[in-house]
Structure 1
């Protein structure tokens, strides 16, 4: 493992920015239509349940990353294969987020710039930061979370005073009943982004105060969940549910409508810069998790020697995973529904059950030996 220590503040900053990711820009939870905000809150509740699964596993193995304790639970060979599965999922998710960011930039500001050029430069910068170490990424997050919050406050204020917002567009409440928001919450919202936070199980061994993980993780889930719910509500109130459903980046569209006194307008840069920050840290965490997983599984000396090769794979995948952006979104929708249910919920839950049963038998054995 890398010889580094991450503070609680740095962990909170990285987790918070990670959780916003692309969810703050896309039509997050819009499958629930006007009740998208409610579906996000339900998903946030499910995210808290997922957290306790990850947290209990961390309590059993506080000094080992996910790829390490999966081998302790399932055995050397089966555990190695499952660990590799997690590494591949981290690489895949890094590539998806790179594609999302590149597409936003090409469609909004750099329309004549090749997508490959944007993705290449973006990943190279991330590789450089990760080459310097996880502590550098943590300190960077401490600075940029302040900038991100200032951008968010500014953007929200301008949209609210633009005159385009009508919260009556959120009515009627539960137009399609409870079933729709609950279905969207536990099929889509739960695993993106709350389930994706499993990537942080690769970073937790670096914490300088591991006892505070519980409070930090829970506070991130609640704060980011409430913020995402508010953003979904504001987008619907500003654009209407039909426009949000059809739009790829509704937040960009909502802030693009702002025109105050024919002077304050063309504020797309706020959304682009917000996504630059959030996706930068999200890709960094996924890429770091993948690299450290490879180091752990293949017993390498350090992570620096494989950063560029894995970064090259991420760039290649981001360009070839889909021929168009709608196809890219559709593919991600199916992946979230099927593949991630296994790696975010079923495998961790099975690991926890196995560990709890083993520890139960160990305690019984100890008590019997004490009696005899």
Structure 2
């Protein structure tokens, strides 16, 4: 096969489930998102998760109009070829930008907390080369790698949770009192930040849903997978709060690492940083590769350029962009104060416009999916 077809291979429904799970989890449990709400950050996560599921139903509603169409094709269907192609190029660039942010996250977090004497450029180059090589082999290879990584990630999180409880580090009073300052701090922490990341990022699945060989199962698998991830993220958020407390959880760059470093069992089981390192690389590798492939596919469907001719240029652009941010402070500011505020444009506004256009045009003749 040549061009786009070489990478646009079919994936199974179980592979889709694992891809959604690892993509949404990513590196999220390593941090304490929503900490602006202090001890109520888990409530903010729960509200965002529920809203994220509602947003996903909108995505699935759009996908069912043309089950065989990827994101680039869906944009052309709803906005027409010229506007749809232009929007597709914008989305492809945005996926490349998000890919860059994850590459920079690997470099910043690894060099700061784990491998202090390793050059940051080398860390970022290694993770990007691995992702680019996987992307060059196509979606089928990528989802098979995800299948292999899932038991490792699941087992690692189980070990961490077991050891934290067994060590007796958790204190339930750390999450009390509940909503001491009313609901507003919780809502401010949930919207738009926690909607944009991680739940709104499921928008990327528009690229992969069209490749699933059993289209009728997409809705059920997606909802169940996202629901399971939501419960897991809420639980991990609460666990970190119970171990560290809101003050320490908000002050450290990697709260889960800080919690794991507190584990001491029988004076010999300690320094479990390697598990957190493993989870960091697995989560960000899956996210980087998925966004890399998404950028390639959407550029291909929007411009007609063969995917094999896009792999190297996009990789070079992603790596070059990762050096534009001068320091970690700027990286965090750009991510939290700028990027998360822009994300709702493509995660919420564009899909809602597509829903309205679809209702007005009444795409009854498009292929249906269950």
Q: TM-score, normalised by structure 2?
A: 0.94
User: How far apart, CA to CA, are the structure 1 residues paired with 2:166 and 2:273?
Assistant: 16
What secondary structure sits across from 1:263 in the alignment?
Answer: coil
What secondary structure sits across from 1:277 in the alignment?
Answer: helix
- Residues 245-297 of structure 1 deviation map (CA, whole Å, 9 limit, x = unaligned): 11111111111111112201111111110011111111111110000111111
Of residues 228, 231, 249, the one that matches 2:233 is 228
Offset at residue 105 of structure 1 (A): 1.4
Moved more, 280-289 or 25-34: 25-34
Q: Is the 8 A contact 1:108 1:268 kept in 2?
A: no
Offset at residue 336 of structure 1 (A): 4.1
Of residues 259, 265, 282, the one that matches 2:287 is 282
CA RMSD of aligned residues (A): 1.4
User: How far apart, CA to CA, are the structure 2 residues paired with 1:295 and 1:79?
Assistant: 13
What secondary structure sits across from 2:169 in the alignment?
Answer: coil
Matched, 1:91 2:134: no
Partner of 1:368: none
Of residues 353, 358, 364, the one that matches 1:355 is 358
Aligned length: 360
* 1:1-372 equivalence runs, <5 A: 1-2=4-5, 3-301=8-306, 303-320=307-324, 322-359=325-362
What secondary structure sits across from 1:14 in the alignment?
Answer: helix
- Residues 118-166 of structure 1 deviation map (CA, whole Å, 9 limit, x = unaligned): 1111111111111111001111111111111100000111112223221
Q: Is the 8 A contact 1:4 1:134 kept in 2?
A: yes
Moved more, 60-69 or 329-338: 329-338
Structure 1 stretches of 4+ with a deviation exceeding 6 A read none
Q: Is the 8 A contact 1:104 1:272 kept in 2?
A: no
Q: Is the 8 A contact 1:27 1:245 kept in 2?
A: yes
Q: Is the 8 A contact 1:129 1:136 kept in 2?
A: yes
- Residues 87-136 of structure 1 deviation map (CA, whole Å, 9 limit, x = unaligned): 11101111111111222211222111111001111111111111111001
Unpaired runs of 5+ in structure 2? 366-370
User: How far apart, CA to CA, are the structure 1 residues paired with 2:91 and 2:319?
Assistant: 19
Moved more, 67-76 or 271-280: 67-76
Q: TM-score, normalised by structure 1?
A: 0.94
- Residues 171-217 of structure 1 deviation map (CA, whole Å, 9 limit, x = unaligned): 00111212221222121111101111111101111101011111111
